[in-house]
Structure 1
């Protein structure tokens, strides 16, 4: 069982699985969430045990335990970008994420997924900036 699991990170509405006799329970994120649920969230979404097939290798609800590397912060991204390019590039990035989401990323309230990181790198490359792009920090989170 993972000891670094933070139940507060479990998204609202995430399906939990309480099937103890499943052969894949040690590698299923739904089972991991169920093992760590707390009284802080008295209402959770659970998978009906009747919906889990007898052959657990065929379970369509199985979600492997995986972590992804996410980035935090974009405050310094445009420091070395010519002013003539920076405004348009920032506009493209804000359009991609949406204003609210972008400013939550800016304030480090939200992380940037690998897909979001690729998009930002693409915008920089598209504008001729090929230097290694560094976000403010990185961490690993479960892939919900």
Structure 2
């Protein structure tokens, strides 16, 4: 099978899977990373084979389908009253931390699919469920 991914984009901490006979191997990032592993790598971290299930119902399965990430939400502030924005900001700073909040707000750091849900929950609390991110990006989801 042809490698579907460029190994240079695989995060250094990513768990690989050695179960090439799994029903989901052709679409699992863990197995695809293993297949794309360069010959000059001496070691990688793998999922314990005792805990993988080649039947297709594996808790370690990670889809190779690109996911939607949110990029920046500066426009949200302009649509909120100051008190609404304060509630929104403090809630998200509690989830992400102060600096990571601002990195996400400016679009320097993408919001993962689960982080998009956190932003949407904060929007719902302040009554602005209709607000959207400044942009959206599709990419492989290695972590979330």
The answer, yes or no, to whether TM exceeds 0.5 is: yes
Higher CA-based Rg: 1
* 1:17-63 Cα distance to aligned partner (Å, 9 max, x none): 34544454213221111222347976521356x6487x821784651
Aligned to 2:136: 138
User: Normalising by the residue count of structure 2, what TM-score does the alignment of the two structures yield?
Assistant: 0.72
Query: What are structure 1's unaligned runs of at least 5 residues?
Result: none
Counterparts in 2 of 1:8 and 1:104: CA distance versus 1, 3 Å: farther
**1:20-99 matched pairs, under 5 angstroms:** 20-38=20-38, 43-47=43-47, 51=50, 56-57=54-55, 60=58, 62-65=60-63, 66-99=65-98
- Root-mean-square deviation over aligned CA pairs: 3.2
Aligned partner of residue 121 in structure 1, secondary structure: helix
TM-score scaled by length of structure 1:
0.72
8 Å CA contact 1:13, 1:45 repeated in 2? yes
